[in-house]
Structure 1
Amino acid sequence: MDASPLAPWEDPRAQPLIRFRNVTKSFGAFTAIDDLSLDIFEKEFFALLGPSGCGKTTMMRMLAGFEAPSSGVIELAGQDIAPVPPNQRAVNMMFQSYALFPHLSIWDNIAFGLKRDKMPKHDLNERVEAMLKLTRLEQFASRKPHQISGGQRQRVALARSLAKAPKLLLLDEPLGALDKKLRQDTQFELMDIQETTGTTFVIVTHDQEEAMTVASRVAVMDHGRIIQADTPDRIYETPNSVYVADFIGDVNIIQGKANSGEGEGYRIFWSEGQPPLQASSSTDLSTGQSCSLAIRPEKVAISAERPEEAANAVQGKVLDIAYLGNLSTYHVELPNGLVIKAQTANTRRISRRSFTWEDPVWLSWTATAGVLLAN
């Protein structure tokens, strides 16, 4: 089957817009980026995600031209960009602080880079008006930055960054200064604008929800390396390591030893006196190999009685309950002290909870609900 044009990373014939080839960046004895190779394709909305100090901002600064690789090559549209100064790259960067000129109007902030490039006046006017329309700022054109809201300033910075039609737009924690509700609304605006312009966006964020919402692909980073780069659904459903499973969303991790069963099936010996857990894995594990079973809380069912047909069922008592409005998360302590989280959707009003603190309950899940990972 041919790869979808919406997923060029699955097409061996597709040419990447950005290519990192064995890139290392060191600051003295500290290695910020460690022999990293990565392809990013045209029109992608690509997210670099990881904890502080994992190297994501260093990658972005190298793309912008503010840092040079210690070794390896970074290509943009097939060209090694190391010798190209920042102001001559077809790359623009939008900073978290927005860096708007306080004394200039919104219109003039957007026009600033175009005027410096001596764009003809008629073309410049057309371009600025198009950017105001794209970011829905037409009625604010004559205002100064302090006269508009934080969300609107964010859109001005975006309009100014896109005005010069860069091949690549870099966004460094662009929504970090916004409150949660506005940030969520702005994420969808960003996606619409990216789709409309067709510009390749690379966003740096430590907010998993943001990365999972906006990105076509997410690269999860740690200590200067990319641990997994994939679509948000694959990162969530089929993480390639305990690190990725644990970093993205909420997860239960059960440690054990694998014993192969039938086909892709394994029995996991995980606690003395407890029956083995059933799990399937496309990864080959040898008998007795140390492994981790990663199960998302929403895939764990909670019940008062032991479900008859369940592939996996364990008993425990309710330790904590987190009520999140649309969801309730039950923290259930097993006899060996392990706490497993089970999530239920609150589809009806809660007049009385099904379970409360200290209640004995059964947790169950299917053999395919978890992801079995080698340690």
Structure 2
Amino acid sequence: MAETVFAPWDDPTAEPIIRFRNVTKRFGTFVAIDDLTLDIYPQEFFALLGPSGCGKTTMMRMLAGFENPTEGSIELAGKDIAGVPANKRAVNMMFQSYALFPHLSIWDNIAFGLRRETSDKAAISARVEEMLKLTRLEKLARRKPHQISGGQRQRVALARSLAKAPKLLLLDEPLGALDAKLREATQFELMDIQEKTGTTFVIVTHDQEEAMTVASRIAVMDEGRIMQVATPDRIYEAPASVYVADFIGDVNILAGTVTATGADTYALTWKDGAAPVTAVSEATFTDGQQAHLAVRPEKVAIHTTKPEDVDNLLKGKVLDIAYLGNLSTYHVELPGGQIIKAQTANTRRLSRRSITWEDPVWVGWTKTAGVLLDT
């Protein structure tokens, strides 16, 4: 039996759990959120991604109840939440600092919110034990926060946030304090816990790799607006604009004017005297229109001798080499000064480089490798 793909955003009958409708948020004359409309669905792991000051934290604070929209409405599970105080919303927030009580044990930290809602000790105990098991903290229940590691504290904060079974959990840069290896392991733990609980997670992050790893969909933001909302693979492979292409991952961008050369095929004149490059695009462009071709470095091949039958081939010299262990990125300078990055996987042990600095090389890519963008 084929596995059903989780994609409620493609189902016109699916009801979102969160609806932003024409939301604007101003602080004085500063517009933090600019006429924003967005749907987030139940059981999504949704990422708000963007640089500092793009409005992602303001969106989260409005969901949490710390701010209200200046204009527009925000609905949670079909109800307008404007004016509903933070403690009356079925929403919990996990802060970057984790905000654990240092004098309480891990067990009591997780129980804290439950004790404020019920005096049923058996129910509290059962729920805390369930959360300890979910986050694999059973053996640490009697310790204090300072007696456990950063990654374990992160799991305590998560257990405490989930204890009251919120409809929505907001995570504000939750992995920012962890080292790279622990962060990677914790990303997969977060995904596992989110899947087991079925809680809708909304994560705020400026770390594109983190968003690409954990999220079902990503909203890329800039200056209070959403530039694109899509699944990680679509954001990477089919960015809607130069901004999104440039923000997510590494990219080569050639700017110029296009001319149609066939069905869905265009020639981009990117430099006087240089041969145009060819691109395939489902989007329609008019002759002479300004456009940008975005090509990911891993889709650019590098050659020491001129290859035959390559759609797009440019000659240059190696300016820089970034060796990243599993990958090498070659920065190739073209005669006009433009830099093209080509990436190769280091599948064999590096005993002697076949390509080194100042070497003359050819870089090439297929006509379907790039994305032609009008903005």
Structure 2: how far apart are the matches of 1:286 and 1:4? 40
Do structure 1's residue 56 and structure 2's residue 56 form an aligned pair?
yes
CA shift, 1:253, in A, is: 0.5
Letter in 2 for 1:30: F
Of 300-309 and 49-58, deviating more is 300-309
Alpha-carbon deviations, 1:260-314, whole Å to 9, x = none?
Answer: 1111100011112211100011111111111110000000000012221101000
Structure 2: how far apart are the matches of 1:278 and 1:7? 34
1:216 match: 216
1:23 match: 23
Give the secondary structure class of the aligned counterpart of 1:51.
coil
Letter in 1 for 2:6: L
Structure 1: how far apart are the matches of 2:267 and 2:286? 11
Of 187-196 and 112-121, deviating more is 112-121
Structure 2: how far apart are the matches of 1:291 and 1:340? 17
Instruction: Give 1:92-107 correspondences, 5 Å limit.
Output: 92-107=92-107
Given that 2:325 and 2:346 are in contact with CA atoms closer than 8 Å, whether structure 1 keeps it comes out as yes
Of 49-58 and 279-288, deviating more is 279-288
2:74 match: 74
- Structure 1: state its 5+ residue gaps: none
1:152 match: 152
Instruction: Give 1:85-164 correspondences, 5 Å limit.
Output: 85-164=85-164
Letter in 2 for 1:320: D
CA shift, 1:346, in A, is: 0.4
Structure 1: how far apart are the matches of 2:119 and 2:70? 36
Alpha-carbon deviations, 1:226-258, whole Å to 9, x = none?
Answer: 000000000000000000000000000111110
CA shift, 1:83, in A, is: 2.6
Do structure 1's residue 252 and structure 2's residue 252 form an aligned pair?
yes
Structure 2: how far apart are the matches of 1:351 and 1:146? 46
Equivalenced residues, count: 373
1:310 match: 310
2:165 match: 165
1:320 match: 320
Given that 2:188 and 2:214 are in contact with CA atoms closer than 8 Å, whether structure 1 keeps it comes out as yes
Structure 2: how far apart are the matches of 1:368 and 1:323? 27
Structure 2: how far apart are the matches of 1:94 and 1:86? 13
Given that 2:269 and 2:276 are in contact with CA atoms closer than 8 Å, whether structure 1 keeps it comes out as yes
Structure 2: how far apart are the matches of 1:95 and 1:86? 14
Runs of 4+ that moved beyond 4 A? none
Do structure 1's residue 232 and structure 2's residue 232 form an aligned pair?
yes
Structure 2: how far apart are the matches of 1:369 and 1:357? 26
Give the secondary structure class of the aligned counterpart of 2:160.
helix
Give the secondary structure class of the aligned counterpart of 1:267.
strand
Structure 2: how far apart are the matches of 1:163 and 1:350? 50
Give the secondary structure class of the aligned counterpart of 2:191.
helix
Given that 2:68 and 2:83 are in contact with CA atoms closer than 8 Å, whether structure 1 keeps it comes out as no
Alpha-carbon deviations, 1:16-74, whole Å to 9, x = none?
Answer: 00000000000000000000000000000000000000000000000000000000000
Given that 2:25 and 2:33 are in contact with CA atoms closer than 8 Å, whether structure 1 keeps it comes out as yes
CA shift, 1:4, in A, is: 5.3
- Provide TM-score, normalisation by structure 1: 0.98
Structure 2: how far apart are the matches of 1:99 and 1:235? 33
Structure 2: how far apart are the matches of 1:297 and 1:145? 44
1:39 match: 39
1:14 match: 14
1:364 match: 364
Structure 1: how far apart are the matches of 2:34 and 2:340? 35
- Structure 2: state its 5+ residue gaps: none
RMSD: 0.9
CA shift, 1:6, in A, is: 0.5
Of 233-242 and 280-289, deviating more is 280-289
Structure 2: how far apart are the matches of 1:159 and 1:119? 19
Do structure 1's residue 285 and structure 2's residue 257 form an aligned pair?
no
Q: Quick one: percent identity of the two aligned structures? A: 73
